Amino acid sequence: MFKASETTRTPAQILAHIGDLLDWALSIARGNETWNNSEPLVWNEEIDRFHTALKSFDDYLASDSELSASCERLFQGPIADALTHVGQIAMLRRVAGEPMKGENYSRAKIAAGQVGADQERPSVSSIDRLTIADLLSSVSISADSKRPNQLLSKARSVLCAQPG
């Protein structure tokens, strides 16, 4: 398993922490804030756990259920923290010689509710700049670089919604 140095987390440890952050975000949104430090699973199982946690959080955001915390708290807390760690995975991929393929996410095909690994392949030329979408999608490391972008779509709709 790749580890950049003695003091860094492995990608699986980082992804386990991201899963914990998504679980924490869901617990905050539901009003029963709970934190858990999970032991990392093997990589493919950790990827599955990530998608499960992302889908659970996304489903809750898409539901009619009331948010028990402000959008700002959710996005400035667990989501911002998760994005930081996804950036670490992106950097570790480059260090390991496996950089992510860039993509123009302003043209990506985003489908509401589709947060798993089964994403449509990009249809436009790639770019080599990292965006927030790149960071979120990098945790979906699979052989064909499929992307989970639904959370961004929901985040955008929640943050851009006009008050009542």
Give the pLDDT of the chain (164 residues) as one tens digit per residue.
667 778 888 889 999 999 999 999 999 999 999 999 999 999 999 999 999 999 999 999 999 999 999 999 999 999 999 999 998 988 888 888 888 777 777 777 777 788 887 777 665 444 333 444 444 554 444 333 333 344 445 444 444 444 44
Q: Is residue 114 part of a domain?
A: yes
Q: Is residue 164 part of a domain?
A: no
> What is the number of domains present in the chain?
1
Cα 38 → chain centroid: 17
What residue numbers bound the domain in which 72 lies?
Answer: 11-159
Q: Is residue 3 part of a domain?
A: no
Q: Is residue 109 part of a domain?
A: yes
- pTM score of the predicted model: 0.71
